[in-house]
């Protein structure tokens, strides 16, 4: 059985709220917060997922897409989700 190893990226992570529109990013970590992990899992989103940023709003809210589903994340939540650019 073939095992895949995920190599850590050499690029620095940044908050999802700082991603650009139409950019694909990979979630690398989620900081602690009020049930943030449970809320993301309820949406089917977890660490190592690739998501696309559809729209960014001035107060940090972000509209994302994963597998043809769209989710609106508030600015506080988007600050706690750290991502890297997907190549």
Residue 67 counted as domain residue: yes
User: Is residue 68 situated within a structural domain?
Assistant: yes
Please report whether residue 2 resides in a domain. no
Name the residue range of residue 77's domain.
14-85
**Does any domain span residue 26?**
yes
Q: What pLDDT score was predicted for residue 5?
A: 40
Query: Does pTM surpass 0.75?
Result: yes
Residue 73 φ then ψ, to 5°: -110, 135
- Domain membership flag for residue 6: no
Is 3 part of a structural domain of the chain? no
| 14-42 pLDDT per residue, tens | 999 999 999 999 999 999 877 898 999 99
For residue 51, the tally of other CB atoms under 10 A from its CB is 24
Q: pLDDT-based confidence at 6, cuts 50/70/90?
A: very low
pLDDT in tens, 50-79: 999 999 988 889 999 999 999 999 999 999
- Residue 51: which of 80, 20, 76, 75 has the closest Cα? 20
Average pLDDT, the chain: 88
CATH of the domain at 44: 2.30.30.90
């Amino acid at each position: 059985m073939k095992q895949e190893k995920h190599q850590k990226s050499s690029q620095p992570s940044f908050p999802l709220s700082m991603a650009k529109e139409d950019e694909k990013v990979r979630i690398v970590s989620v900081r602690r917060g009020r049930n943030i992990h449970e809320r993301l899992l309820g949406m089917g989103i977890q660490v190592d997922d690739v998501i696309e940023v559809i729209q960014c709003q001035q107060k940090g809210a972000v509209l994302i897409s994963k597998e043809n589903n769209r989710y609106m994340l508030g600015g506080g939540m988007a600050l706690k989700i750290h991502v890297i650019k997907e190549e």
